[in-house]
Amino acid sequence: MTYEFLQHYWCFIVALLGAILVFLLFVQGANSVARSLGWTEEGRRLVYNSTGRKWELTFTTLVTFGGAFFASYPLFYSTSFGSAYWLWMAILFTFVLQAVSYEFQNKIGNILGPKTFQFFLTLNGIVGPLLLGGAVATFFEGSNFIVEKSNMVDPMAVTPVISHWANASHGLDALLNPWVLVFGFAVVFLARTLGILYVMNNVNDEDIRSRGSVRLIGAAVPFVVLFVAYLVHLLLKDGYAYNPETGVVFMEPYKYLTNFLEMWYLLLLLLIGVVLVLYGIITEMLRGSKFFTHHSSLFTFDGIWPAGIGTILTVLALLLCSAWNNTAYYPSTADLQSSLTMQNSCSSEFTLRTMFYVSLLVPFVVAYIAYAWYSLDRKKLTRDELRGNDHAY
């Protein structure tokens, strides 16, 4: 295991966690359309109890994603989480609101009323994916920060801070970039699409399923349009490359297109992911139609599973494209040479090697999560389970 291999390995682990996080945003997506999916108070409670079985996984993955970045690429953690703190604080605040809202919306003594906390769940369902999608888009569009490592050894430095934001917005200025918003809203509608697919698969209620089929079209079409628009923009734009021998960062025409062509396996991963997402969406759109009745053997899975796996593969390919093949994964628009790469921002070889052995336990954790997921979803949720159940949300 060379130092370069360990850098690529941990980049893959972090990217995989990020991809899983985007998939798990189906919780936020379903909550954002719960009022139109459920329509009645009991119907909304069905949606919230369906997503309530999984919200801890989303929150835990978000924290694990941040922890993995801190351990393997600490300079990114201090630059993004430390300098762009308003953006990340807004993300964390909406997720804290989500946790509180699940627990207190129907508790005795709730003076704010259930609708207040349901509004908070809707807010998290829109703002959370939007800001997380915007944060991912900065890996390609750049952020307004400056890195000055000399401050750590300069006795004259007033504050020995390695990196700082170049303006007072501390990360919120990224939302002024229209392409960041395009990708952010693409993630919002992707989360809604996945959320609708999950609820249709998890809840045994004909009213919700019929409404879900209609709402699915309203979420999937904007997602496809926004994602395709951003993907075309990404493949045609100049990218942030660096010389591995000198570490100098420079702009390279069609960098991300070049990355996909040179790393054909990432392109294959991207194409398979996109096909699976579309397959999952079309599967649910066709259910109940005469075409599905005559061709049911072509659609053996509920739409959430191919769409979910496709989401993970697609996001994984995009994140790896932003870092591998001598690419600056966190480019700076304020100072090009402050851009972060796998070489100039990673932990020591000893740290990466030690964590490598710890990461071998990850498959066991994933197996436990899969078993817990199966146990919770083995029986579809019905209205009868809400009545007289003290543990229902």
Query: Would the pLDDT of 379 be above 90?
Result: no
pLDDT: which is higher, 372 or 237: 237
Structure token pair of residue 373: 């997921």
Query: For residue 171, what pLDDT is reported?
Result: 79
Query: Confidence class of residue 8 from pLDDT cuts 50, 70 and 90?
Result: very high
Query: For residue 44, what pLDDT is reported?
Result: 82
Query: Confidence class of residue 288 from pLDDT cuts 50, 70 and 90?
Result: low
Work out the widest C-alpha separation in the chain, in whole angstroms.
77
CA separation for the pair 76, 90 (Å, rounded): 18
pLDDT: which is higher, 124 or 149: 124
Query: Would the pLDDT of 257 be above 90?
Result: yes
Query: For residue 82, what pLDDT is reported?
Result: 74
Query: Would the pLDDT of 189 be above 90?
Result: yes
CA separation for the pair 14, 26 (Å, rounded): 20
> Looking at the DSSP assignment, which residues form a beta bridge with residue 145?
165
Query: Confidence class of residue 300 from pLDDT cuts 50, 70 and 90?
Result: low
- The region of weakest confidence among 12-26, 282-296, 375-389 is 282-296
Query: Would the pLDDT of 227 be above 90?
Result: yes
Query: For residue 235, what pLDDT is reported?
Result: 95
Query: For residue 291, what pLDDT is reported?
Result: 54
Query: Confidence class of residue 149 from pLDDT cuts 50, 70 and 90?
Result: low
Query: For residue 87, what pLDDT is reported?
Result: 82
Q: Which residues contact 309 (CB under 8 A, 6 or more apart)?
A: 273, 276
pLDDT: which is higher, 256 or 50: 256
Most confident of 69-78, 86-95, 211-220, 237-246: 237-246
> Looking at the DSSP assignment, which residues form a beta bridge with residue 381?
203
Please answer whether residues 338 and 145 qualify as being in contact, where contact means their C-beta atoms are separated by less than 8 angstroms. Answer: yes
98-113 pLDDT per residue, tens: 888 887 777 766 767 7
User: Which three-class secondary structure state does DSSP give residue 229?
Assistant: helix
> Looking at the DSSP assignment, which residues form a beta bridge with residue 250?
241
Query: For residue 160, what pLDDT is reported?
Result: 64
Query: For residue 297, what pLDDT is reported?
Result: 53
Query: Confidence class of residue 69 from pLDDT cuts 50, 70 and 90?
Result: confident
Q: In 203-326, which residue ranges form alpha helices assigned H by DSSP? A: 206-236, 255-262, 264-286, 290-294, 304-321
User: Which three-class secondary structure state does DSSP give residue 330?
Assistant: strand
337-376 pLDDT per residue, tens: 889 999 888 888 999 999 898 888 878 878 887 887 787 7
Q: DSSP secondary structure string, 120-170? A: HHHHHHHHHHHHHHHHHHHHHH-B-EEE-GGGGT-TT-SS--SEEESSTTT
Residues 277-286: what's their mean pLDDT? 89
| DSSP H or E stretch at residue 72 | helix 55-72
Query: For residue 320, what pLDDT is reported?
Result: 95
Residues 135-160: what's their mean pLDDT? 75
Q: DSSP secondary structure string, 367-392? A: HHHHHHHHHHHSS-B-GGGGTT-TT-
Q: What is the dihedral of CA 182, 184, 190, 194, to 10 degrees?
A: -170
Query: For residue 238, what pLDDT is reported?
Result: 94
- The region of weakest confidence among 102-111, 232-241, 326-335 is 102-111
Residues 121-125: what's their mean pLDDT? 88
